[in-house]
């Protein structure tokens, strides 16, 4: 079956309409980007009122900010995991060297490696798990903690400027 044999359906789902319009808009613009005025033009051609467009634009901006914060949170968790892995390697190396010096073989240190490795493996699993309720709870806690830290820093900086003036 070729593309010329295909017949468009009489009705489309909302998701299909959005996808088709995205493709059409992408084909219309050579640069791959649209100006805000072009966005407003397209919205008016589609009979989308200004309030709906402004609301949609704010939702989009908020989702972009939230996505950036999630990426920052994921990097933070990966950095924490990296630090824990380095600590694990240092402690494991110490245990292996101590075991080799004392027994001239790897015996009891392997148990220590397993015992210390289990929490690290669980932490690695948790770090790379970026969906689900526990991820959302951890993300919200981290976000609130950062917002409080930023508020305190802003307040402290203002207080210092007042004292210096």
Average pLDDT of the segment spanning 83-106: 94
Residue-level pLDDT at 13: 87
Helix or strand (DSSP H, E) at 41: helix 36-45
Closest CA to 142 of 79, 64, 59, 62: 79
Tokens for 131? 């969906």
Pure H helices in 104-132: 109-128
The SS3 of residue 47 is coil
Task: Give me the residue spans of the domains in the chain.
Answer: 132-165
Average pLDDT of the segment spanning 149-153: 94
Q: Distance between CA atoms of 98 and 76, rounded to whole angstroms?
A: 33
Query: How many Å from the N-terminal Cα to the C-terminal Cα in the chain?
Result: 78
Residue-level pLDDT at 82: 97
Residue-level pLDDT at 135: 94
* pLDDT (tens digit per residue) in 120-138: 999 999 999 989 999 999 9
Average pLDDT of the segment spanning 140-155: 94
Average pLDDT across the chain, whole number:
88
Residue-level pLDDT at 29: 60
Average pLDDT of the segment spanning 26-55: 79
HEC string of 65-93? HHHHHHHHHHHHHHHHHHHHHHHHHHHHH
On whether the CB atoms of residues 143 and 69 are closer than 8 A, the answer is yes
> Residue 28: which pLDDT band, with cuts at 50, 70 and 90?
low
């Amino acid at each position: 079956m070729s593309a010329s044999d295909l017949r468009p359906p009489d009705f489309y789902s909302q998701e299909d309409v959005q996808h088709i319009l995205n493709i059409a808009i992408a084909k219309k613009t050579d640069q791959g980007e649209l100006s805000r005025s072009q966005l407003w033009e397209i919205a008016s051609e589609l009979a989308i009122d200004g309030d709906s467009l402004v609301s949609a634009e704010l939702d989009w901006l908020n989702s972009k900010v939230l996505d950036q914060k999630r990426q920052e949170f994921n990097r933070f968790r990966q950095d924490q995991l990296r630090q824990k892995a380095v600590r694990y390697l240092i402690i494991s190396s110490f245990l292996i060297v101590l075991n080799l010096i004392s027994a001239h073989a790897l015996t009891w240190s392997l148990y220590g490696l397993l015992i210390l490795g289990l929490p690290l493996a669980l932490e690695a699993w948790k770090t790379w798990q970026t969906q689900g309720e526990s991820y959302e709870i951890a993300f919200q806690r981290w976000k609130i903690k950062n917002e409080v830290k930023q508020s305190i820093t802003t307040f402290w900086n203002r207080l210092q400027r007042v004292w210096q003036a």
